[in-house]
Chain A
Amino acid sequence: MSDTQIADAPAPRRRNIFETLELDTRLLGMIGAFVVLAVGFHLITDGRFLTPRNIFNLTIQTVSVAIMATGMVFVIVTRHIDLSVGSLLATASAVMAMTQTLVLPEWLGLGLGHPATAWIAIAVGLATGVAIGAFHGWLVGYLAIPAFIVTLGGLLVWRNVAWYLTSGQTIGPLDETFRKFGGINGTLGTTGSWIVGLVGCAAAVWLLFSARRNKVAHDFPVKPMWAEITLAGIVSAVILGFIWILNSYQVPAARLRRNFEARGETLPEGYTEAYGLPYSVLLLIVIAIVMTVVARRTRLGRYIFATGGNPDAAELSGINTRLLTVKIFAIMGALCALSAVVASARLTNHSNDIGILDELRVIAAAVIGGTALAGGIGTIYGAILGALIMQSLQSGMAMVGVDAPLQNIVVGAVLVLAVLVDIIYRKRTGARS
């Protein structure tokens, strides 16, 4: 809102509580939309939407698209697009599935269930993703083929490379350790989740106050202490609240009994166990943090946003924009591979149609999350929130019993509407569209 402020004005005045807290109003708007959506579905479904069980499912369903959406932010910010992420995911998934079911156990003789299998498969998948992504980036950056064309080609090529590698068959079951990344098959349990939550709170508080210290050290204005403490309180409450919800989702008794019987024990009377934080969600959180640090605090991120804002200026500032393009697409490729781990682990096998239409979901998540297709603008947390909103909409409608074609019609309309709202918002606040 500071666009009204003129050059000679004194230090910016604090207008309302949001400005005092230095919160992003756009983020608040998105959170508001999400809350309205969630509460709406909760009421329509007679209280089935905002249950620990559904929230747990919602988060694990969001992870795969959200991971790729963080990378798509970088791609779109630099005025490119990647239409091949769904197919790249399929190829990475196929490569990993073949590695763990055929190459390692049979060709290399490790046998099934070897403890290293999952990790080797993931490493191979990551290498595949990075190589394909870097190759796309090289075609775009060095050979100057538009990203739209390169990745449109990639959409067809990698979908069918995956098909070719697996002869179109479903490959599974996947390695047991590998499956832990899928969501419900691998969670931290109650205690572990609380520990992660507390570490998260401590880190958030430390970040807030070290930023404040840094500002004070350079004599910059800081927000009042009560605002800082309020913000720290809100953040901690959100983190711990989320953990508490996930920890409230009890493992069904039948499943517990099976687990105990598998170990040759019997289920004690009154014994309960909760799922807690899934590894896949933990992976997403780690990726979100790393990508946010890259975007905001590294030269790479600075160059990505500078190139998106003005490619010529970036070039004239001595930034190697071609190599930068290769790096961005390589990051995208790596994230597609990680998504492939989560997606195939969740299904417990690699299927031929894995990741179909994911490119559109990922682009939609990034765009709903405030990434501007004109380049230069976008946030990681926005993209993740965008993915969550899309998934909530989809799951919510499915729970309400909306017909499948209608679901997609609504999702499509919401995408267009979200961009319209964003355009109006940016005009109102005077920011560049």
Chain B
Amino acid sequence: MTPDQTTPLVEMRDISIAFGGVRAVDHVSIDLYPGEVVGLLGHNGAGKSTLIKILSGAYRADSGEILIEGKKVTINSPRDARHHNIETIYQTLALADNLDAPSNLFLGREIVTPLGLVNDAKMEAETRRIMARLNPNFRKIKEPVSALSGGQRQSVAIARAVYFNARILIMDEPTAALGVHETKMVADLIQELKRQGLGIFLISHDTREMMELCDRVSVMKNGRLIGTERVEDVTEDDILSMIIMGKKPERAA
């Protein structure tokens, strides 16, 4: 399935991983093109998050290969993934609650002074700059993020992903904990990042939201890939039956 002529930004080929005896991801292949949003759908435990964690470096695949812009790469750690400009917004947000927003935003990539000490003032200024763009209401820069609301925490996690010029963005349930207003904010952001030519993997339970935000959706069930469809080719019911029954929609000729 190659809808464009260009090289995919990411290609995950024939990926498998097992935990104990359980095949969490079973020979799955997916790809992602620049300026495209690909949705990953499936039940809890279908293997979406596991698959995506292989790309973000949190897990190592037992077999299969990952290609970034046509070149084979090895991703053994989150650091490797970041090196390939892959940024991830985790469902759990992965924030250190006891640290403030700038420390979280720059965690693992601190700005340092010539002496090698962390430059808190610079990081704080940069955080204010990006937050002014993402979430102008964000004011609690110096507080531990445990003191922030769900939406504010989410903006910290998003800011962390987009600040470092990501080319490939993975969003695991980015709107799960958010109110209406903040969900809209995330949707707008996704559109903007698309225009900038980023490729986005989006994981969600909300089929309707996925139909709106994604260009293609890949459906997984029990670790297997059921199929990948362009959203304009299928109905919401088609997708639901793929998720629930694991059946590919029948094509009208």
Q: Mark B76-91, 1 if CB is under 8 A from A, else 0.
A: 0111001000001010
CB contact between B107 and one of A8, A218, A219, A313 (< 8 Å): that residue: A313
Are A318 and B77 within 8 A (Cβ)?
Answer: yes
CB contacts between A and B, total, < 8 Å: 106
Are B125 and A218 within 8 A (Cβ)?
Answer: yes
Most buried by A among B56, B95, B137: B95
Tell me how many residues of A have a C-beta within 8 Å of chain B: 39
Q: Which of A305-360 contact B (CB under 8 A)?
A: 305-310, 312-320
For A314, the closest partner residue in chain B by CB is B96
- Min CB–CB distance A118 → chain B (angstroms): 31
With a CB–CB cut-off of 8 A, which chain B residues contact A377? Answer: 98
- Min CB–CB distance A53 → chain B (angstroms): 40
Are A318 and B99 within 8 A (Cβ)?
Answer: no
Are A302 and B77 within 8 A (Cβ)?
Answer: no
Decide yes or no whether A220 CB sits under 8 A from chain B.
yes
Are A319 and B107 within 8 A (Cβ)?
Answer: yes
- Among A129-137, A239-247, A291-299, A402-410, the stretch that binds chain B is A291-299
Decide yes or no whether B144 CB sits under 8 A from chain A.
yes
**Distance, CA A379 to CA B143, complexed state (A):** 17
With a CB–CB cut-off of 8 A, which chain B residues contact A5? Answer: 140
CB contact between B149 and one of A3, A7, A309, A316 (< 8 Å): that residue: A7
- Among B113-121, B173-181, B207-215, the stretch that binds chain A is B113-121
**Distance, CA A11 to CA B110, complexed state (A):** 26
- Min CB–CB distance A212 → chain B (angstroms): 11
Decide yes or no whether B72 CB sits under 8 A from chain A.
no
Are B90 and A316 within 8 A (Cβ)?
Answer: yes
- Min CB–CB distance A221 → chain B (angstroms): 10
Q: A214-B121, A305-B98, A316-B90 are in contact. Are A298 and B103 (CB under 8 A)?
A: no
Are A306 and B117 within 8 A (Cβ)?
Answer: no
Q: A7-B137, A7-B152, A316-B78 are in contact. Are A299 and B112 (CB under 8 A)?
A: yes
Q: A302-B103, A302-B110, A317-B78 are in contact. Are A309 and B98 (CB under 8 A)?
A: yes
Q: Mark B2-38, 1 if CB is under 8 A from A, else 0.
A: 0000000000000000000000000000000000000
Are A432 and B94 within 8 A (Cβ)?
Answer: no
**Distance, CA A303 to CA B109, complexed state (A):** 11
**Distance, CA A377 to CA B82, complexed state (A):** 28
Are A8 and B96 within 8 A (Cβ)?
Answer: no
- Min CB–CB distance B52 → chain A (angstroms): 12
Decide yes or no whether A376 CB sits under 8 A from chain B.
yes
**Distance, CA A314 to CA B58, complexed state (A):** 11
6 smallest A-B Cβ distances: which pairs?
Answer: A309-B96, A309-B98, A318-B79, A376-B98, A317-B108, A313-B94
Apart from the given pairs A3-B147, A314-B96, 7 other A-B contacts in the complex at a CB distance below 8 Å: A11-B139, A214-B121, A220-B121, A302-B99, A306-B96, A318-B109, A432-B146
